[in-house]
Structures are given as structure tokens and as C-alpha cells.
Chains A and B, each alone.
Chain A
């Protein structure tokens, strides 16, 4: 066995181990954001290690250049996709007061106008559609930090 084959076996095994561990973490964790973090971080590392192992295997031809393009695409696209899923969940559910209002807006500046309360009333309209989901998932999806 040539040394390039030995290096390829080592890198591909390490990449598979990380992929298995991150997929296991997605099933086990109790909170949605922890599961998203486990899958986003572990998958990127496993993908990078496996593509480097495959580049050792094929040698220095045109095929290794295409595998390098797969490596670059996965390096950019995996964290981007995780960020988009996170933003979709945060803007709909308003988890952990992410869309916090300014403290000055909560108190009325004029005693006459009395327009203190919620400035962003659009969030309440969006959250009313998910009220059934929130009541069902309160027993399972409790936040870890609070």
C-alpha cells in the first residue's frame, strides 16, 4: 500500500466518525437550537476531512480539482444553510427575546398620549398563528438557559 492510500484511509475514517457523532447529537439533544448547532458544526468538519481524504486517493488529476470545488462549496454552503434555518426559527417564534425592543420604547414619554406599550405590533400578529404549536411543545421544547 502506497503512503497516499494510507493517508486517504485515515482521513476518510476520521470524517465518518465526525459525521456519525454529529448525527447522533441531533437525535439526543433536548432543545432545537442545540440540535441545530450540533449538526451545523460537526457536519462541516466531517465533510472537509472526507474530501481531503478523497483528494489523496485520486492523485493529482482533473478529478481532484472537482473534489476541491465540492470542498469549497460545502465549506461555504453548510454554515450559510444553518444560519438561514436559525433566522427562520427566530423571526417566527421570537425565542429568548431575540427581537428585543429598545428599553426607551417600553415606557411612555408623554403622560397624555400613553402610547408606551409594544411598538412592534407586527410580531404579535405573526405569533398568533403559532399559538397551537407553542402550547403543544411547551412540555418538550423548554429552553435550556432559563
Chain B
């Protein structure tokens, strides 16, 4: 019963990620694309965790989600410093 509930949550999060991907390809400013990538980072972290619930072996998926969140944050900071200018 819990797995049935979590599958609906997973489908909703996949729809959000696809909507952000379409928005990234149709945005005009480069800052819009950076913003949509940042939104996708947080959603993918929760997709990994919820998938770990459905699969049963929760202990493996938490470490992957932890390292992905740190990786996404460092990527955003480096991209913002590169695109933003010299100051």
C-alpha cells in the first residue's frame, strides 16, 4: 500500500523534471537555464530517495542522494562565478 502511494509521488516528480527540461530549452536568457538546472537538482535528489523506498534497499540510495546534492550545489556555484563576470 505504501509502494502504491510512493509511485504517484514519483510520477509527479518526473513530470516536474520534464517541465523544467522543456523550460530550459525554450528560455532566452542564460540565467533562466541556470535557474531551471538548479530546480532540477533538488527534484532529482528526492526522486532518488523515493525510488529507494519503493525498491526496499534504502541504505544504498541515501549515500547517492547525499553526494548528488553536494555535487549539484558546487556545480551551481562554479557556473554562476563563470557566467557572472570578473568581479
Query: How far, in angstroms, from A25 to B30 measured CA to CA in the complex?
Result: 18
Chain B contacts for A91, CB-based, 8 A: 84-85, 87
Q: Contact mask A4-27 → B, CB, 8 Å, 1/0?
A: 010001001101100110110011
B25 interface residue (CB < 8 Å to A): no
Determine if B13 and A69 form an interchain contact, defined as CB atoms under 8 angstroms apart: no
Residue numbers in A under 8 Å from B12 (CB-CB): 16, 20
Q: How many residues belonging to A are interface residues under a CB distance threshold of 8 Å?
A: 49
CB pair B66–A23 under 8 Å, yes or no, is no
Separation of A119 and B85 alpha carbons in the complex (Å): 19
Q: Chain B: interface residue count, which band?
A: 35 or more
Contacts of B53 in A (CB 8 A): 54, 57
Among residues of B, the one whose C-beta sits closest to the C-beta of A90 is: B84
The distance in angstroms between the C-alpha atoms of A75 and B49, with both chains bound, is: 17
Which among B1, B20, B81 is the interface contact of A23 at CB below 8 angstroms? B20
Tell me if A's interface is mostly helix, strand, loop or mixed.
helix
**Which residue on A lies nearest to B41, using beta carbons?**
A81
Chain B residues within 8 Å of A1, by CB = 1
| Residues 58-87 of B at the A interface (beta carbon under 8 Å) | 58-59, 62-63, 65-66, 69-70, 73, 76-77, 80-81, 83-87
Subset of 13 A-B contacts with CB under 8 Å: A19-B42, A23-B20, A26-B23, A35-B32, A57-B53, A58-B58, A63-B62, A66-B66, A70-B62, A85-B38, A89-B31, A92-B84, A141-B29
Interface, chain A (partner B; CB < 8 A) = 1, 5, 9, 12-13, 15-16, 19-20, 22-23, 26-27, 32, 35-36, 39, 43, 46-47, 50, 54, 57-58, 63, 66-67, 69-70, 73-74, 77-78, 80-82, 84-85, 87-89, 91-92, 126, 133, 136-137, 140-141
